[in-house]
Amino acid sequence: MSEVEIGRGKRARRAYTFDDVAVVPSRRTRDVQEVSTSWQFDAYHLEIPVLSAPMDSVTSPDTAIAIGKAGGLGVLDLEGLWTRYEDPTQVLEEIARLSKSESTARLQEIYSAPIQNELVVERLRQIRDAGVTVAGALSPGGAQQLWRSVIDAGVDVFVIRGTTVSAEHVSANREPLNLKRFIYELDVPVVVGGAVTYTSALHLMRTGAAGVLAGYGGGASSANRRTVGISSPMATTIADIAAARRDFLDESSGRYVHVIADGSVGTSGDLVKAIACGADAVMLGTALARATEAPGRGWHWGAEARHTKLPRGERVEVGTAGSIEEILFGPSHSSKGQTNLMGALRHAMAANGYSDVKEFQRANLIVTK
């Protein structure tokens, strides 16, 4: 990867966003009817390569069920409103009414309510009773405190999601989460992230993770670049982590770790390019926050927006684009790329002659900027 000199004493690596690249059609095409969007994650066969982001504006127990029935995987934030409040309906309505100037401070207050273990169990049971795959997410700190309640509740997929999750967290004042031991002791597949470099992803794969989240998540609602100066363009991030997956496959004599793009996948074009860069699936936040059923009511925020000391995100208005069904499968009545995401993926795969998601990872890309 080329580097540029940004001054006499510093060089920087050139990296690319989704807007910087495009898929180039090959010499062969295929009928759309012959294209499959299904994929296999551990023991679970999923019809679409979509996970919902564990954000309160995106995933409630009801929307997790709806996404599961649509063939994806709904991931509930087990440190969110649904495990802090018996009925968060009024809280969600209040968040939607907040002015911009008061939203961050009020979010911090709202999320200061304690997490209730019985609600963790209840929410996961509600999803399981609907007959879909159950997935719950915790931060690394939350995983240390709540993992037993989550496992006892019968979760199928465990997600450890933070702004940056490493296999080698260093702390002088507390015992950090030992990911390798933690994953080894669980009897369910674990997805870990975010990771944004080849090396960090490779280390996470060596912990035994079944999947790695590529990216920081919360693209539209994140303020990481403004508050702490951290950013990672997603096209390069995914390609780097896909390379780590390839090398770990050789290193481990055939153990495949799934790469899930998490962040900046706001339109169908972004989703297409995420998979073409090497992702097995995408974790959707903004795209699903636009659903009429989304608990955010046209607003979107993540865990970074409620941090007690250094908020690195904000509540943003994303509006509505259609139902979950319309966003995932159409029909679409707009060219904004906000609805019929799977139709767009199928069209792109067919236009390039690929029959499934795994093949489409080999698509040709060009740099457009």
Q: Which runs of E-coded beta strand occur in 145-205?
A: 157-161, 190-195
pLDDT of residue 312: 86
| CA 35 to the chain's CA centroid | 24
Q: What are all long-range contacts of 109-115, with beta carbons under 8 Å and residues at least 24 apart?
A: 110/81, 110/306, 111/80, 111/81, 111/84, 111/306, 112/308, 113/84, 113/85, 114/84, 115/78, 115/79, 115/83, 115/84, 115/142, 115/146
CA angle centred on 216, ends 20 and 195, rounded to 5°: 95
Place of tokens 């809280």: 91
Determine if the pTM surpasses 0.75: yes
What are residue 83's phi and psi, to 5 degrees? -110, 5
Report d(CA 200, CA 184) in Å as an integer.
19
The pLDDT assigned to 171 comes to 40
Which residues make Cβ contacts (< 8 Å) with residue 173, sequence separation at least 6?
none
Short-list 216, 210, 208, CA closest to 165: 216
Q: Which residues in the chain show pLDDT less than 70? A: 1, 163-176, 218-221, 223
Task: Identify whether the C-beta of residue 294 lies closer than 8 Å to the C-beta of residue 63.
Answer: yes
Burial annotation 204-239 (CB, 10 A radius, 16+ → b, else e): bbbbbbbbbbbbbbbbbbbbbeeeeeeebbbbbbbb
Query: Residue 173 has what pLDDT?
Result: 45
Instruction: Confirm if 135 and 76 have CB atoms less than 8 A apart.
Output: yes
Nearest to 206 by CA among 155, 255, 260: 255
Residue 166 is predicted with a pLDDT of 52
Paired tokens of 110: 């709202």
* pLDDT for the residue 172: 42
Largest CA distance in the chain: 61
CA 295 – CA 52 distance, rounded (Å): 13
